[in-house]
Structure 1
Amino acid sequence: MAQRSPGQAQPARDKVAHDNERLQQLLDGLKAVRDGDFSTRLPQVGDVLLDEISTVFNGMVDQLSLFTSEVTRVAREVGTDGKLGGQAAIPGVSGTWKDLTESVNAMASNLTAQVRDIAGVATAVANGDLSQKITVQVKGELLELKNTINTMVDQLSSFADEV
């Protein structure tokens, strides 16, 4: 049996140490993403498999960052700033990311249509036009608001007819 010299085992130990370091970087990056930190990037190291893992990880983090910033922007515009009509623009999404983007955009679009219809009727009433009704499709508490405003318009119209 041939004996190995201590120098022959060193490259194998170096590779194991390097791979362990890369796995630790990946684990640290995954933990950062889990905790909402999208600034972590994995470097390219000249190994085909590890570089592909880095590319996929970095692309995933970029996608999460863009998705998060767009959803936050739309929520702020529509929900806080009162700027209706905002839509998330996330190019190249597919699968669940596309479904989530479409859901956010549908929510913002529906809310925009509902608020604009209600505002249009309120403006018409304020200007003395009692012929306008809220016609937009709504559910839940917005349905209650729609029915209340439409009833109010009917009652004001009846009262105006009596005067």
Structure 2
Amino acid sequence: MKTFDHLNVIGLREWINLPDLGMVGIRAKIDTGASTSTLHASDIQPFERDGEQWVRFTAHIGTLVQSRHRCEAPLVTVKRIKSSNGQTQNRYVIRTNLSLGDRLWPIEFTLACRKTMRYRVLLGSKALIAGQLVVNPALTYVQDKPSLIDLSGAQ
């Protein structure tokens, strides 16, 4: 059997931070069947700043206790996505840093309403590839819960 020592193992669910958006302690579901990651968002409004396209939105985290966080991020593109229920929709795409365990790297998120879903964040396969992660679906919360302390030193 082959082993991959340079890859980090994560479970089916992990704690993440999105430090550029000021969001801490978010439970994320790992979805290897999804290409792009998704963040639960509402009130999505595109706007222009210094000649560049941006988007502002309300991010929702938590399930039992809902927390809303108003965010702004540069707009990468608008992507046509086929959701798990088979519907196709246009979604705004942002790029922001993801903190998982002791690592920090940029990934893309589509913004979509996930209010009926248990997890407000899905991490798709592109994020896993960029982070050089492998998933053990028998495990959950393998990595330590990240903190905002000293994220500049995260790898």
TM-score range, shorter chain: under 0.3
Larger Rg: 1
Report the TM-score when normalising by structure 2. 0.18
Please identify which structure carries the higher helix content. Answer: 1
Please identify which structure carries the higher strand content. Answer: 2
Larger RCO, structures 1/2 (Cα 8 Å, 6+ apart)? 2
